[in-house]
Structure 1
Amino acid sequence: MFKRLPGDEARNLVSTTPDTAVVFRPAVLKTPALVTFIVYGWRFLAALVRTTWRHPVAVAIPVTLGIIWNVYGWPAAASTLGFAVLSLLAWACTAPGSFARLVGWRLLAWWRLMSVYRRHWQSVMDVSGLAKRVHGHVYMPRLLRVTCDGWADRVTVRMLGGQAVKDWTDRIDNLAQGFGAASCRIALLKGGRLLITFPRTDPLAAPMPALPIPDEPTVGPVEIGRQEDGKPLRLKVHGTHVLIAGATGAGKGSFLWDTIRGLLPAMRAGRCEVWALDPKLMELSFGRELFQGRYAADPAECADLLDEAVSVMQKRATRFAGLQRSHSPTVEDPFVLVIVDEVAFLTAYQPDRQLRQRTSAALATLATQGRSVGVGVMAALQDPRKEVMNIRNLFPDKIALRLDESEQVDMVLGDGARDRGALADHISPVPELGAGVAYMRLETSPEPIRVRAAYVSDTDIRAMVAYHGQAA
């Protein structure tokens, strides 16, 4: 604050040097030493309590060793420390799983907190523009917690008052580079808190061979690959519809054949049927024996097969009306999965207008009414624009493989998906690195997850045909 002159005295001041401005010196308030000691003492106690509360183990270890040293001498303290270290090593060797869960990941989280995030927090927040300066005072987002597992660091942050999630999602590249990660993903928790995920390793870097055919018949979720955190990827196909989009060579066929592979036992048991539409005549024709006559490649035949699926759906709906609201697969009423490869050729690029309208109308009818009666649709396409596929919002579950443009990511996965870390346009075009890698957004969760489907080779498809031909 500035010292104010009484009355009109400031207006009447005259300087002997016209080019020199009158300077008002701010008033200086001298704080008593006792008050200063009390303030700093209170801050020290608060920091001590906060550190003890947040890191009880890290505080208890030096305190315990100090007490033993003071009471029994340094040899006893050294022996205690050595015994504890040897016990932890023995635990890590004999039961690595429980050691990592209870001790190892906690130690790693503390080390990453101190050596990476807390060390660089202020500079990264300042440079990326997430810290704010108001009247000379710096307001910094608060770093709350760091947890680790075998795949990534998860950092919990409290945003500044008035900040939005978009302020952070617009700076994911800054955050990843600032903390030395290849990428990062941001999810809103609650109460102004964010969960920022920084991957340390990539379990999806290498292609996966075809998964074993399940032993028990099931209509899903079927295991088709692996998630970014190393967990199995299970895709729900019964009771939903799935849209798959990706550029040429991105690996759409992997998702199609992995799904069929997971459904094989149910197909052989008569509880599931796969109907295939293959206008490209290259992907699904290799295993057409699996579809038992429910295979079409000609556009007119594709439209007829879709109309037949609509008829099956409507007949079931008539029989189920007033009796049941959901479908359970049986031999009499098996789950029907309609797989459409290169659906854009049938809905947009087909020169026959009447066939386009029939195909679009049948797909829209199946997508709006088929879930509850056990008729699902899995459609794959290259171009996700609305004029090419105007019913894409009718598919609850969506998968985006490598795409050519960043705008296409939100077209497939929904608005804001790319801001949340679904960088499908950054997937490598090299087959060994990017084929089958995708971002998946499920109906049950708005957050995209990075996945990779297993690769099903021609030899695997032949084995599937032979398996299906065996007696159940």
Structure 2
Amino acid sequence: MPEGLVLLVNAVRALVRTVVFLVRNIVPVSVLSVLGWLGVRFGWTVPVLVLVLVAVGLVVWAVVDRPSFVRYAARPARARWRLVAVYRRHWQPVLVTAGLTKVHKGREYLPSLVRVRSGPMSDRVLVKMLKGQAPDAWERVAVNLAHGFGATLVRVRDGDRPGRIWLEFVRKDALAVPIPALPVPDPSEIDLSGLEIGRTEDGSPWRLRLLGTHVLIAGATGAGKGSVIWSTIRALLPLILGGLVEVWAIDPKRMELSYGRGLFERYGRYSSDPKGGMVELLEAAAEDMNARAELFAGVTRSFTPSHEHPFRVIVVDELAFLTAYCPDRDLRKRAESALAVLTSQGRSVGYCVIGAQQDARKEVNNLRNLFPDRIALRLDEDDQVDMVLGEGARDRGALADQISSVPEIGAGVGFVRLETSPDPVRVRAAYVCDADIRAMVALGLPDLDVEGAA
């Protein structure tokens, strides 16, 4: 190639790179240009004074209205910084090492970095994939990406359009420290479609929906199933005391739920004669649900709690005992039949079943597909994650088998997969201690002292 043509090609490339740089950094380049012009035109005291005034204005804004300052100034600035200093800087070497680039006819093709959104605990990076590339190619190298960009873990989410994905880089674990019991909410603040029971990985409240769904909680011994159950009951407490919500509890172990027995409208436990407790309670709930459905038929399509027709939450601890481990085969069949009726028909007429179990296998609970919303706390094996949350959940970042077994670190930590979204969300339920439960029962049974309330 002639020397002159080589120089021309290099000049064009340099010009293109310069234009791309200016477009990508239009804001900082514009600001620096204005400050430089002010310095040349009026002296360098003027741009310094402008910077001081801007700094004072930002400080005042942060003091007067911190939420809006964080939303419109701090987070965009941090996102911009991390885009330049972390992701764009290491983008090509990390993706090449992870095998996410392609070379065709001597030219390297690289997925495009579109934008970065930065939160207090994580970054969300929008990526335009190569033509013909699928999200599972990124899921397979999530660990490589995490180490390459200095994150604790990475999750792959669907993007805003085909061909795009979000990479969620978790920088800091907001759930490493136990969360104390949340304050009992004001009745006017309670929303059955979003009860606050803990915190999500990005530091925002974890809101659990009960109205119009059923919830399955799976976790090994000591994983924190009680934290989820008691935080939910605590969030419902004002409506329970007001008669708009009833909790019917089934307690095969006679340990977890018996502590707050005074809060429950009905309570069933395992005894030497199990026929008088748990199974009959389930059958009574199914019968009442059918009666309510008959009453509402042709009258209303949506349920609103009332004193005449309260919202009923059926809490079943150790669900697997009723569906697999109960020694009486007839009782198992009756319990499974009642549960099937409640979970398949109950949510439209104000019934919600919350089932907790340790064993994730289908043969232990073949009704798990009737629970639209599921929570996987610490599990013993990696294949159990998909058993609970659905196929592909672990590949999407639900590493429930890697949650710590140390109670202070991992109890109450888990992953939620909702009916409305296939993407698992990492959460931690607040810890409701014995004293908190006694105080809750004392509110419902004012004639008892707090020490003897349970």
Picking from 155, 158, 161, the partner of 2:128 is 158
Residue identity opposite 2:141 in structure 1: R
Alpha-carbon shift at residue 202 of structure 1 (Å): 2.1
TM-score by length of 1: 0.89
State whether residues 172 and 185 of structure 1, in contact with CA within 8 Å, keep that contact through their aligned partners in structure 2. Answer: yes
Q: Retained in 2: the 8 A contact 1:288–1:295?
A: no
Out of 190, 201, 207, which is 2:172 matched to? Answer: 201
Measured in 2, the distance between the counterparts of 1:425 and 1:392 equals: 19
Which structure 2 segments of 5+ residues have no match? 448-454
Deviations 1:248-296 (A, max 9, x none): 0000001111111111111111111111111111100111121134333
Could you tell me how far apart the structure 2 residues matched to 1:92 and 1:269 are?
A: 41
In the alignment, what sits opposite 1:212? 183
Are 1:107 and 2:83 an aligned pair? no
* Aligned counterpart in structure 2 of residue 314 of structure 1, from 248, 269, 290: 290
**How far 1:49 moved relative to its partner?**
4.4
Higher deviation after alignment, 389-398 or 142-151: 142-151
Deviation at 1:407, TM superposition (A): 0.7
Cα displacement (A) at 1:129: 1.1
Within a 5 Å distance, the mapping from 1:16-55 to structure 2 comes to 29-30=1-2, 32-33=4-5, 37=8, 39-40=9-10, 42-55=12-25
* Cα distance in 1 between the residues matched to 2:145 and 2:111: 13
- Whether the aligned pair in 2 keeps the contact of 1:186 and 1:196 (CA below 8 Å) is yes
Counterpart CA distance in 2 for 1:318 and 1:78 is: 76
Residue 167 in structure 1 maps to residue 143 in structure 2:
no
Change (3 A) 1:45 1:246: same
Match of 1:7 in 2: none
Q: Supply the distance in 2 between the matched residues of 1:371 and 1:84 (Cα, whole angstroms).
A: 55
Match of 1:393 among 361, 365, 369: 369
Determine if contact 2:152/2:172 at 8 Å carries over to the other structure: no
TM-score by length of 2: 0.92
C-alpha distance in structure 2 between counterparts of 1:92 and 1:353, whole Å: 65
Amino acid at match of 1:322: G
Does 2:101 align with 1:131?
yes
One-letter amino acid of the counterpart of residue 367, structure 2: I
The aligned amino acid for 1:341 is D
Q: CA offsets per residue over residues 367-423 of structure 1, 9 Å max, x none?
A: 100011111100000011100111111101000000111111111111111111111
Q: C-alpha distance in 2, partners of 1:371/1:97? A: 37
Letter in 2 for 1:193: R
**Superposition pairs of residues 294-305 of structure 1, within 5 angstroms:** 294-298=267-271, 299-300=274-275, 301-305=277-281
Structure-2 change in CA distance of 1:317 and 1:77 (3 Å): closer
For structure 1, which runs of at least 5 residues remain unmatched after alignment?
Answer: 1-28
Contact 1:409 1:422 in 2 (8 A): yes
Which of 331, 337, 352 is the aligned partner of 1:355? 331
Contact 1:398 1:442 survives alignment (8 Å): yes
Say whether 1:291 aligns with 2:261.
no
SS of match in other structure, 1:408: helix
Tell me, yes or no, if structure 1 residue 260 matches structure 2 residue 236: no
Counterpart Cα distance in 2 of 1:304 and 1:78: 79
Q: Are 2:238 and 1:269 aligned?
A: no
Counterpart residue type for residue 248 of structure 2: W
Distance in 2, matches of 1:364 and 1:91, equals 56
Residue 40 of structure 1: CA displacement? 4.9
How far apart are 1:351 and its partner, in Å?
A: 2.0
Pair 197,330 (structure 1): closer, same or farther in 2 beyond 3 Å: same
- Structure 2 residue 436 is matched with structure 1 residue 463: no
Instruction: Classify 1:90/1:376 alpha carbon distance in 2 versus 1 (closer, same or farther; 3 Å).
Output: closer
Q: How does 1:306-345 map to 2 (within 5 A)?
A: 306-345=282-321
Taking structure 1 as reference, are residues 202 and 138 closer, same or farther at Cα in structure 2, changes over 3 Å only? same
Identity, % of aligned positions: 53
Distance 1:167 1:264 in 2: 46
- Report if the CA contact (8 A) 2:254-2:269 is conserved: no
From 22, 33, 38, give the equivalent of 1:63: 33
| 2: CA distance, partners of 1:77 / 1:333 | 68
Residue of structure 1 in register with 2:452 after alignment:
none
Matching residue's letter, 1:143: L
Count of residue pairs brought into register by the alignment: 441
Is 1:74 the equivalent of 2:47?
no
90-99 or 395-404, which deviates more: 90-99
Partner of 2:195: 222
Alpha-carbon separation, structure 1, partners of 2:13 and 2:371: 56
1:140, CA displacement in angstroms? 1.3
Distance 1:95 1:276 in 2: 45
Alignment partner of 1:97: what SS? helix
Deviation at 1:343, TM superposition (A): 0.6
Q: Is residue 219–residue 272 contact of structure 1 (8 Å, CA) maintained in 2?
A: no
Kindly provide the amino acid, as one letter, of the partner of residue 122 in structure 2: A
Deviations 1:111-141 (A, max 9, x none): 2122211121111111111112234322211
Aligned residues of 2:122 and 2:170 also touching (Cα < 8 A):
yes
Counterpart for residue 380 of structure 1: 356
Q: Supply the RMSD in Å over aligned alpha carbons.
A: 2.0
Conserved in 1, the CA contact under 8 Å of 2:249 and 2:266?
A: no
